[in-house]
Structure 1
């Protein structure tokens, strides 16, 4: 089991960076980053706009996180269909 450091750069009222260290525990870094991003959005009344996601100081996974967020959103929308 390894640890990764995730930096999330976003705009809310101003440009902001939040950083944390997380254990992988068999999960992919983009899933951990998305969960971290969801926590950040909750604390900002969902006004936050994602700019960049960096893992371990040099790996840009922004697009992976955006794609995973869209996928999860689409799945949740389809689960709520009445048919």
Structure 2
């Protein structure tokens, strides 16, 4: 379990939470799974998971040797 406070500075809560999650994963030598994200008293785990999936899909699509038109 990790806890922190961050200023949003115009960013969405789930974007800040995803960056914190990425930082946590970098520090750990093993694979981890996101279980729950609570921000400002609201549970936003699914939003963070969806944002992470979107980023992964974008990375995977950017690495393709061909582009679809």
- Structures share a fold, TM > 0.5? yes
Q: CA deviation at 1:46?
A: 4.8
Which stretches in structure 1 are left out of the alignment for 5+ residues? 1-16
Higher RCO by CA contacts (8 Å cutoff, separation 6 or greater):
1
Runs of 4+ in 1 over 3 A off after TM superposition: none
What's the C-alpha RMSD, in Å, of the aligned pairs? 0.9
**Distance in 2 (alpha carbons) for counterparts of 1:82 and 1:47:** 28
Structure 2: gaps (5+ residues): none
Bigger Rg, structure 1 or 2:
2
Which structure is higher in helix share?
A: 2
Which residue of structure 1 aligns with residue 22 of structure 2? Answer: 38
- Number of aligned residues: 66
